[in-house]
Amino acid sequence: MNKMIEASSNIERFFNAHAVAIIGASTNPEKLGHVILSNIIAGGFQGKIYPINPKEKEILGFPVYASINEIPDKIDLAVIVIPAASVPETLRQAVVKGAGAAIIISGGFREAGRVDLENELLDIVAETGIRLVGPNCQGINYIPNKLCASWPIITTPGSMAIISQSGTVAATIAGWAEEENWGISASVSLGNQIDVNETDLLEYFASDPNIRSIALYLEGAKDGRRFLNVAHKMVSTKPLIVLKSGRTSGGQRAAASHTKSMAGKDEIFDAACRQFGIVRAADIEGLYDLSKGLASLKPGKGRRLMIITSSGGSGILAVDKAEKCGLIIEPLPEIVKEKLKNTEIPANATLANPLDLTVATASEFKNALQVLSEFDLADLYLIIFGDPIPGAAATSIWLRDKIGSKVAVAYLGGGEVERQERKIMHQEGIPVFSTPERAVNALGAVVWTEQYKNNH
C-alpha cells in the first residue's frame, strides 16, 4: 500500500507559497485553526490568505470562505485543520484550486487506527502529484517566506533548520531560538509522514542557501540507506545534527507506538553516524547547542581550544569537558605571558590556558584578547563571561571580526545584562551558551565535523 517517495524536486512548493488556504480556520482562540491563522498573519506572510469555515464571515479581519471551491483565485498551499474524515475530500478540492502542497495538521489517522484514511490521501497524491506534510503534525514555519503555518509563533530569522518527528521537540528548539534572538530559518514537524519524510526535506534543504545547519529529531528513518546516502552527500557542505530517540529497549517500544518507527539497534545507528559524518546529539538541549555551533563556527584545522574567562571555576569545568570532547588545551607560551604582563588586565589574573582574568570588565577582556590574537594559539576561542559584564558583546564581535568565525561564548551569572548582551551577539551570529559545559560540547562537535571533512 505504501507509495514510493519520488525525488524531492517539488518539495519547494511548501516553502515558496504565494496563496494559502487555512481550512478549519476558527474564531475560537483555543482552536489550532485560529492559532495557525493568527500566526500566519502575525508572521508577516506577504501572500494571499484565505480562511475557510462554513460558519463564519470574518476571522481576524480576513473574509472567510465557506469552502475552498469559493475562493476567487488560485491557491498553491493548503493548511488543513479539520476532522480526519473530511480531509480527503478537502484535499481534492485544494488540488482543483491549484494547490501543489498541503500541510495536514489534523490527527485521527494511522495513530488512531485509521490507516484507510491515510491510504485515501496517498491515492490522491498518486493521482494528482500534490505533496503532503503530515497528517497529525505541528506544521511548517519557513521564515524566509514569513509563513508560520505552525505554533508557537516564531519570527526571528536565523540560519538553522529543524526537521522533527515530534512537533514539541521542534517547537521547543524554535522557542529557545526565538527567546534568545538566535533565530531559525525553517521548522518542519513531520507527523505521520505518509508522503514527505525527513530524507526528502534533508535533500531539499541541502541546497537552500538560507540554511547552514540542520537539526533533526528522529525516531526512525523510513529508508535507512537513502537517509544515510543523502546525509552523507550533504555533510561536506552543511552539518546535520541528529537527536535519535529509542536508544533503550523501553524507548524503542515507546517509539514504535508513537511514529510506528522501527528503531533498530542503537549501536548500529551510532556507528553509521560516525562513518557518514552525522553529528549525534545526546538530548534536546544538545540538539539545539550543536546546531547553533555548527551553523556559525568555522574552526582552524586543528583541535586547539583557547579559553579566556572571568570565572576560574567555569574555566575548569570547560577544561574538564574539553578533554572529554577531544579538544586540546595547550599551555600559554612564555612570550604571550610576558606580553600579558605589560597589558592592562587585572593584577590577579592567572596567565595560563584558561586565561583567568578573575573579575574583569569587557575592556580588560579586549586588552587580553588583543594580545592573544596576535599569536596563532588556537583553532577555536571560548570566551567565558561570568558576571553581568556590559560590553561583552562588543568585545566578542571585535574578536570575531579580527580572527574570523572561531569565537564561541559562554555567558553565565549575568542576569539581565547577560540576556541583553547575548541577544546582541546572536544578532551578529556569535553563538552564546548558558554554561561552559554546553559551549564546549558544541565546540567538540564543530571540531569533529571539521576533522571529518578534512579526512573525507
- Judged by CB under 8 A, the chain residues 108 through 137 that form the site for a second copy are 108, 111-112, 136
Helix and strand totals (H; E) in the chain = 15, 19
Among 38, 39, 53, 172, binds a second copy (CB under 8 A): 172
Q: Does 285 bind a second copy (CB under 8 A)?
A: yes
Q: Does 315 bind a second copy (CB under 8 A)?
A: yes
Q: Smallest distance from the beta carbon of 309 to a second copy, in angstroms?
A: 9
Measured distance CA(73)–CA(177) in Å, rounded: 36
For a second copy, the closer of residues 30 and 454 by Cβ is 30
Residues 429-451 as b/e (b if ≥16 CB within 10 A, e otherwise) read bbbbbebbbbbbbbbbbbbbbbe
Measured distance CA(164)–CA(200) in Å, rounded: 13
| Residues linked to residue 51 through DSSP beta bridges, in sequence order | 22
Q: Does 356 bind a second copy (CB under 8 A)?
A: yes
Q: Which of residues 9-68 bind a second copy (CB under 8 A)?
A: 32
Q: Does 139 bind a second copy (CB under 8 A)?
A: no
Cell matching residue 412: 553565565
For a second copy, the closer of residues 65 and 385 by Cβ is 385
Sheet strand arrangement including 380-386: 355-356, 305-309, 380-386, 407-412, 432-433
Q: Does 77 bind a second copy (CB under 8 A)?
A: no
Radius of gyration of the chain (CA): 24
Q: Does 98 bind a second copy (CB under 8 A)?
A: no
Q: Does 284 bind a second copy (CB under 8 A)?
A: yes
DSSP-based three-state secondary structure for 425: helix
Q: Does 423 bind a second copy (CB under 8 A)?
A: no
Taking Cα atoms as reference points, which of 421, 357, 358, 366 lies closest to residue 389?
Answer: 421
CB 175 within 8 A of CB 141: no
For a second copy, the closer of residues 15 and 217 by Cβ is 217
Q: Does 262 bind a second copy (CB under 8 A)?
A: no
Site track for a second copy across 207-246, x = CB under 8 A: ----------x-x-----------------------x-xx
Q: Which region, judged by CB under 8 A, interacts with a second copy, from 12-20, 126-134, 283-291, 395-403?
A: 283-291
For a second copy, the closer of residues 157 and 390 by Cβ is 390
Sheet strand arrangement including 19-23: 48-52, 19-23, 77-80, 101-104, 131-133
DSSP-based three-state secondary structure for 431: coil
Among 162, 319, 360, 393, binds a second copy (CB under 8 A): 319
Identity of the residue numbered 98: G
List CB contacts of 113: < 8 A, sequence separation 6 or more. Answer: none
For a second copy, the closer of residues 17 and 133 by Cβ is 133
Among 90, 165, 192, 396, binds a second copy (CB under 8 A): 165
* Count of residues engaged in binding a second copy, rule: CB under 8 A: 72
Q: Which region, judged by CB under 8 A, interacts with a second copy, from 7-15, 16-24, 289-297, 304-312?
A: 304-312
Measured distance CA(239)–CA(406) in Å, rounded: 16
For a second copy, the closer of residues 17 and 36 by Cβ is 36
- The number of C-alpha atoms within 13 Å of 318 and in the hemisphere containing its C-beta is 36
Taking Cα atoms as reference points, which of 385, 393, 382, 396 lies closest to residue 440?
Answer: 382
Q: Does 175 bind a second copy (CB under 8 A)?
A: yes
Among 181, 358, 405, 451, binds a second copy (CB under 8 A): 358
Q: Does 415 bind a second copy (CB under 8 A)?
A: yes
Q: Which region, judged by CB under 8 A, interacts with a second copy, from 125-133, 141-149, 196-204, 352-360?
A: 352-360
Q: Smallest distance from the beta carbon of 349 to a second copy, in angstroms?
A: 9
Q: Does 264 bind a second copy (CB under 8 A)?
A: no
